Structure formats: structure tokens, C-alpha cells
Structure 1
Amino acid sequence: MPETTNREPSLLIKGAAVLSMDETVGDLTNGDILISGDRITAVGPGLSAPDAEIVDARGMIAIPGLIDTHMHAWQTPLKGLHADGWTFDDYQSRVFHLRERFCVEDIHDATFAGSVQMLDSGVTGVLDFCHNVMSPDHAEAGLRAHRRTGQRTLWAYGMLGSFDAPPEDHAWRLEHLRELRGRTGDDGLLRVGVALSSLEFGSLDRTATEIALARELGMRMTVHQNPAGQIRALHRAGLLGPDILPAHANAADDEELELLAECGGGISFTPEGEFGGGRSMTVLNRAHRAGVCSSLGIDTAARVSIDLFAAMRLTFLLMRNVDAAAEREAGRYPLERRPGTPLVEPRHLLEYATVNAARSLGLGHELGRLAPGCLADLVLVDTEPYGMALGDPAAHIVLQTGPGDVDTVVVGGAVRKRGKRLTDLDPAEAGAAARRVRERVLSGPPPAKGARE
């Protein structure tokens, strides 16, 4: 029986079905995970560490912590405002224009509420695309909220100001971003990135200036990619790279997907919002076949719940449906299995939310897997009282699991949830914060017309 000792505070998870998402470690039907400090030091059967705190994980599935790669946490209190939204104008008129009403305190409270709910739902990491930075103090408030919750966060500083903002509005954002980078660096669980201006509402020159600064400072970037041709435009301008994560990209053609794959890039898909908003979903299959690093996000609580399990499940079903539609159109019905068809299995979707998402955050070498040396971000999913599904445990995670099944959440080696209760954060406090934002934001006269997404 292997024995490991370490003077650092340690945690030993015993008896889980381990989905390591690591090729070397593989899956374990009955495995243990030893954590020392903020790192995993061993994964295997029958581990022992006399001084470690023991977590009994029998009847549970251990997975890497889920990572949301496109989330607007500031919109958490606006839950339901876009529930029956159909058009982009619906989103603009019901949700996005309200950002002009958000004061500094609102950004803190909204971000805090969203981050707590994500942790409670097994989302240990997030790319928080904050396109509501109306002042330097707004940015500081968002960062302060994430420091408070301790979620692993790439906080993307929104570069898009008001629709009619003067040039100096952009200048102070660039200056503040440089100052933040110098002050915070890579601050443990919290890093600062850049949410680039949307190309359709700005200019390529403006975006190029932002990209140049981000690369000078060594910062990851993300961008809303909605109209066709923008990935190609970035490539032709010599700007495309794996450090820029496009979100959505439903209109991307096959050449653009090949350009992304060639540079090692990815896309963050938000299937619930995209599908509900009438966008083409064939890009999911085309991106997978092209070798693009696909990952998933919730986008906005104004439309759907903070539930990355549901996003995995819907994406799997959508991709199966895209394949089935192609088979029917080719006259191959009833369906038969052919090489490469169907394209995905449930495990692929768990990869999207762990391994691929970690790569998209620039942490693929140390996050998204349960393996020695990796950062200790993980989730234990309770399969009781009804038992684990037959077959691949990854299918249980993708097709049978919801946030209510999340028993334990560990971030950076610290237990943040155990026995289905958060250990150091109060959901009621998060709910109260969201209600305070609603009371302040959803009252008073309509705000002036602001920027678009």
C-alpha cells in the first residue's frame, strides 16, 4: 500500500470513482486522491497519508472542477429578464441597456452572487467577461468580489464603453489595465484578462491596440464573435492567436475553424443561449471535426440557470441531432453507426468543461485534470440514493447530473463545499446581494441608451 507524507496541510479523498481526464492516470473504479497544499500529489488505489484530513467519497464520482469559459457574472441578478427573448434587440432592450444603472456596489454584489452560485454548482473556474466596466472603480469592485469568493477566475476587463463614448473613454481603460497588471500580476486564484471590443461596434485598429497591449502584458483575451468573417479578419491582420478566445462564433465558416485549429485556438460555445436565440448549431460539430479546442459557458443568468451540467447535456444532444439531420438528408435513415458518425460521446463534453476549458484559460498544463502536479480543483458528485448509471461514468456526469448532486467542491486544495453545503460562503448572503442589485437597478427612469454587446 503506497504511503505519502507531507508537512503541508493535506486532504485525502478515499474510495471515489475517479474520472481523471488524464491519459496517464486514466479512470479508477475505486480510487483515492491525495492533495498537499494547492496541488494534487498522488492519484491511485489504496493511498495513505496519516496526517491528512479524510474525505469519504464512496458512492461518488470525482471529476476535475468544471470551468465556465464565457460568463457575464454581473448579470446574475437579472435572472429571468431574457427568459423568452428571441432577437438581439430583445437582449439589448431588456438586459444590456441596464448596465448604465449599475453603480460600483452593484458590480460587486452581482459578481459576488454569481460566483457563489457557480461554486455551489461545481463550477470551480470561470472566465468572467465583464462588459460593464463603466469606471476604474467598477473594475476594482468586480475583482474584489472574486477575491472574496475564492473562485479560480480569469476576469476579462471589458474594453467596450458606451456606444457614443469619446476617445478618452478607451484611453483610460488601456491605462487602467496596464496599472492593474502591474499591481496584481497573476494573483493566485485571480488573474486579469481582456474582453476585447466587439469588432462590429468598433474598429479593427481599436481591437489591434487592445491586443498589442494584452500581449505586451502577457494577458489572455476573449471576444464576442457574432458576425461571419471576423476570425478571418483577425488572421489577415496578423492578430489571431491561441491567446484570444472567441465566444459563440456560430457563423464561422470551415476556413475560419481551420485557422483557429492551426493556431491552437478555441471557441467558447454557450449552447443554451445560442440555440434558444435561433443560431445555427452546426458549428459545434464542424469545430470538433476541425480540431478546435471547444469549451462551454453559460453566458447570462438573464436567460438560463447557472448549470454547466445542463450545458454539457444540451450540447451532446445538439451534436447528435446535427449528425442525425445530416444522415436523414443523405437518405440514410433509419440511423446506422458509421465510422465517425455519431461524432461525440458524453465524455467529449466533459472534456469541453474541464481539459479544453483549462487550455482556453491558459492553464492547460496544470488544470482540468486529476493528476499529480495539477492544481487541486475538483468536484465530488453524489450518485446516491439512486446509484450510478451503467456504462461510462462520464455519461452519468453529462446526462444524469445536476447542481443538486454536487457534494464536495475543492479549489486550490481548500474545501469550499462538503456534504452539499458551502463551507465558508452563505447562499443566503449571495441571494441578498442579488436582491439589493435588483432594488437599485430595476427602479427609477430608463437609463440612457448605452453600448451594444
Structure 2
Amino acid sequence: MNSSRQTLLIRGATVLSMDPGLGDLQAADVRIEGRRIAAVGLDLDSTGADCIEAQGMILIPGLIDSHTHLWQGPLKGLGAGMWGMGDYNRHIFPLRERFSAEDVGDATFATGVEMLDNGITSVLDFCHNVMTPGHAEAGLAAHARTGQRVLFGYGMLGRFDTLAADHAWRLDQVRALSREHAGGGDALVRLGVALASMEFAGLQMVKAEMLLARERGLPMTFHQNVAGQIHELHEAGLLGPDMLPVHCNPILDEELALLAQCGCGISFTPESEVGDGRSTRVIARAHRAGVTPSLGVDVPSRVALDLFSQMRLTFLLMRAEEAECERASGRWPLARYPGTPFIQPRDMLAYATVNAARAIGMGDALGRIAPGCLADLVLLRPGRYSASLGDPAAHVVLQANVSDVDTVIVDGRVRKRGGALIGGTRDQAAAATARVRERLFGGIPA
């Protein structure tokens, strides 16, 4: 996706900076020079700037998805009626073996463009569809085309029957790719390692992956679906702040304490968790334990590429659980008292911005609207009929939807403006999806 980078001035917006030093600003301006935010304030100098008039609109940091398998985008709808992980493992996950490298490239591009259109400026792509070296290369090349900010989680979990035999070439490719795509810094496309699941690969294989990732300075992420794995990593001396566990539904309170001690967050995928019949209590437990939660879509085969929905669902799940605890304790009807309710809509926006920036290893540069931060921003129209009263962050979480996304800026470049993606990429993404479906199914499956 080609777009020019120039000095920009967003003028007159309600700015939700998510920065504790700036807070919210009414009718404020944001000046962007190059890749970064140069100033935030009132009546900023517009000299030499392309002005984006934003009166009546809400400016938020770009939304960050900390866990999605982008290769599944063209499979949208195939997981709609799934019942638990058994259905997923029978009907969705095995399809990856039918994806060619070209399919992974097309699917990744199409999904990334749709995410950008929906205000998701950054994503951790947990690509567990690296069936050959070409699959990883195609995925990375597709990400370079979209203009989305990406941490590409190179998937170490290949075919179950050749997992051990294929391990050496995967390690070798990660080592080679790491010379081109560093895990640190602020590059638009960075490399990370999506560790093989411990329940399938075992601790020793995963340990080899972790040692390589740390040798090369690459962030790591892994599915945490089995009780006791955090303890196991801790006992092996492997737990660290460069890891992002996902789901964590069976995690023990003691394991949450270990994550908090080492500065780990977790990625929670609420709609996917509910769809799989998992417990959703971990998100509140993590928040209370000081483990910073972030959010992801997870499986586009079933879940819409929409972080507004994930924020809203997470808020409702957490409020429902807290109300259930109140009722069980005999405190009914509900009443407010210090510390209850403990979760607020604004917390959800933090999950998808500040916390998620930390989760992908960019907490100093992303997730806030403040001078010096990278210019990843989303401008929202507050609705066709009226803006919400009260906290504008509550509007974003409880009222906004993807159709409100007016303007998207990534790395100082305008990717969407006035509701239209730059460069006709919607049509390109739709065509890429159609190609994948044609090759896999002969068209759209009945």
C-alpha cells in the first residue's frame, strides 16, 4: 500500500491521549512530522502541514491486536457453528496443510488490509502456518505491502507428524530472517517467534526455540492452554518479560503472580474464548494481579476483525463476573462501594492500546498520543445521530464500531482518509481472498 509521508496536522479533535501526563484534550490539535508525533495541544502551527479537519471527531491511539492468525482471514464463516476446540481441530486447523505459500501471502495481505480498514494499526500475527520456508517469506512480504505495523510471530508448530524432523530448518530460517527483521526497534515489520505449544512439542524443543529467540533479541508468544505450563517455564528458568502467553484460561493465581513479577502481560481473545467454551475469569484475575491484559481477535475463521467488539465483550464479561460474585456473597441488589465495580470502560481502551503496545514490545513508542511517540492514530466519527454524553472513552468502547473509522495513520502515513482506504486496496484485498478460496475450494464453499 503506497501513501506519502508528510507533515500532518489533525485539527480540533477530542484527543484521548492515553498518556497520564496529557490526559484527554477537547478541540485539540496533533502535529505529525515524519514518523512521529511532534506536538499535542491547542491551536498548533499549521505551517507546511496537510490539515485533517477533525472537529466533532475522537482521536485515539491506533488499536493493537496482540493475537490473530491472519492466514485464516479467507476462511471467514467456516468456524461460525463450531462447538469447542474439537470442532476447530477437525475443521479449521487442518486446512493450513492445504495452503500454499502463495495462499499464505494472499490471505495475510487481505486480512491485514481489512484490519487497517477497521482501525487496527498493529497486530501480532501468530503465523502457525509456516509449512515451508516459502510460507514465512510470503507472509512477511504480504505484511510489507499492507502498511500495517506487524510483529510477525514465526510459527514453530508445523505438521504434528514431522514436527521434530522439521525443527532444524525452522530454527535456521528464524536465525536467517532475524538478520533482516530485528525484533527490537521501531521497524514497521518486525520478527518474533510463535513458540511451538509445549503440550505438543515438549519443554526441550520449546527451550531450543526460546534460547534462539533470546540470542537474536526476538520477542516470543505462545498458546497457554494447559495448566501448570507457567510453573514449568519458571522452574526451568525460562520465564521472562519478552514472552506473551495467550488465552491462559487454566492459569493458577500463583502463576499469575509469577507473570506479574517478571513483567509479562497476557493476550485474551474474548469472543474466541467464549466460542470454545473456556472460562473467561482469567481476564479479571490477571488485571487484579497486575498482569497487563491485551486483546486479540484470534481466529478470523469465526470472529470478525473488530477490536471494538472485543473491547465491548470483555467489559461485559468482566462486569457480569463481578456481579455474579456480588450476588453469591448476598450483596443484592448491586450497590457501589469503594473498589466496586473495579473495571471501567476506559480500562478496555487501555487493553487495546497501552497494554497491547507493551505486549508487542513497543510500550515506549506506541499506545499513546504524545510527543515522540510513533504516529499510529485512528480518527473516529462519533455516530450519525449524536455523540455520547460523558466519558469519550466509554463512547469508544460501548458505542463505536468499525463503520465509525474515518482516518487511519500508521508510521506517519495516511492509510485511510474520509472513510476510504488509500490506493484501492479494498478491491485488492477482496481479490486476494477470492484467489485463496478458488485455489482451496474452487470458489466460495457452499
Equivalent in the alignment of 1:50: 47
Equivalent in the alignment of 1:106: 103
Equivalent in the alignment of 1:419: 418
Secondary structure at the aligned position of 1:359 is classed as helix
Equivalent in the alignment of 2:28: 31
Q: Deviations over 1:47-88 (max 9, x none)?
A: 113111100001110000000000000000000111111121
C-alpha separation in 1, matches of 2:276 and 2:168:
34
From 68, 90, 94, give the equivalent of 1:97: 94
Q: Deviations over 1:379-407 (max 9, x none)?
A: 00001432211110000000001110000
8 A Cα contact 1:149 1:425, kept in partner: no
Equivalent in the alignment of 1:447: none
Equivalent in the alignment of 1:220: 219
Q: How many residues align?
A: 437
User: Do structure 1's residue 160 and structure 2's residue 157 form an aligned pair?
Assistant: yes
C-alpha separation in 1, matches of 2:359 and 2:170:
24
Moved over 2 A (4+): 183-187
8 A Cα contact 2:151 2:360, kept in partner: yes
The 5-angstrom pairing of residues 98-177 of structure 1 reads: 98-165=95-162, 167-177=164-174
Equivalent in the alignment of 1:265: 264
Equivalent in the alignment of 1:85: 82
Secondary structure at the aligned position of 2:193 is classed as strand
Task: Give the letter for the 1:157 counterpart.
Answer: Y
8 A Cα contact 2:84 2:275, kept in partner: no
Task: Give the letter for the 2:11 counterpart.
Answer: K
Q: Deviations over 1:137-173 (max 9, x none)?
A: 1000000000001100000000011111053300000
User: Do structure 1's residue 356 and structure 2's residue 370 form an aligned pair?
Assistant: no
Equivalent in the alignment of 2:436: 437
Secondary structure at the aligned position of 1:33 is classed as strand
Task: Give the letter for the 1:337 counterpart.
Answer: R
Equivalent in the alignment of 1:318: 317
Q: 1:22 to 1:425 in 2, by over 3 A?
A: farther
User: Do structure 1's residue 72 and structure 2's residue 88 form an aligned pair?
Assistant: no
C-alpha separation in 1, matches of 2:385 and 2:255:
45
How far 1:363 moved relative to its partner? Answer: 0.5
8 A Cα contact 2:6 2:413, kept in partner: no
8 A Cα contact 1:285 1:343, kept in partner: no
The 5-angstrom pairing of residues 155-234 of structure 1 reads: 155-165=152-162, 167-185=164-182, 188-234=187-233
Task: Give the letter for the 1:218 counterpart.
Answer: G
8 A Cα contact 1:59 1:384, kept in partner: no
How far 1:306 moved relative to its partner? Answer: 0.5
Runs (5+) with no aligned partner, structure 1: 1-7, 445-453
8 A Cα contact 1:75 1:110, kept in partner: yes
Q: Deviations over 1:179-221 (max 9, x none)?
A: 0011333582000100000011111011111000000000000
Task: Give the letter for the 1:295 counterpart.
Answer: S
Q: Deviations over 1:17-74 (max 9, x none)?
A: 0000001111001110000000001001111131111000011100000000000000
C-alpha separation in 1, matches of 2:132 and 2:217:
23
How far 1:443 moved relative to its partner? Answer: 5.0
C-alpha separation in 1, matches of 2:255 and 2:383:
45
Equivalent in the alignment of 2:18: 21
Alignment RMSD (CA, Å): 1.2
8 A Cα contact 1:59 1:387, kept in partner: no
C-alpha separation in 2, matches of 1:339 and 1:441:
56
C-alpha separation in 1, matches of 2:6 and 2:382:
28
C-alpha separation in 2, matches of 1:429 and 1:383:
29
Q: 1:443 to 1:89 in 2, by over 3 A?
A: farther
C-alpha separation in 2, matches of 1:443 and 1:11:
45
How far 1:425 moved relative to its partner? Answer: 4.4
Secondary structure at the aligned position of 1:184 is classed as coil
The 5-angstrom pairing of residues 2-21 of structure 1 reads: 9-21=6-18
8 A Cα contact 1:86 1:276, kept in partner: yes
C-alpha separation in 2, matches of 1:400 and 1:209:
46
TM-score, normalised by the number of residues in structure 1: 0.95
Which is further off, 275-284 or 50-59?
Answer: 275-284
TM-score, normalised by the number of residues in structure 2: 0.96
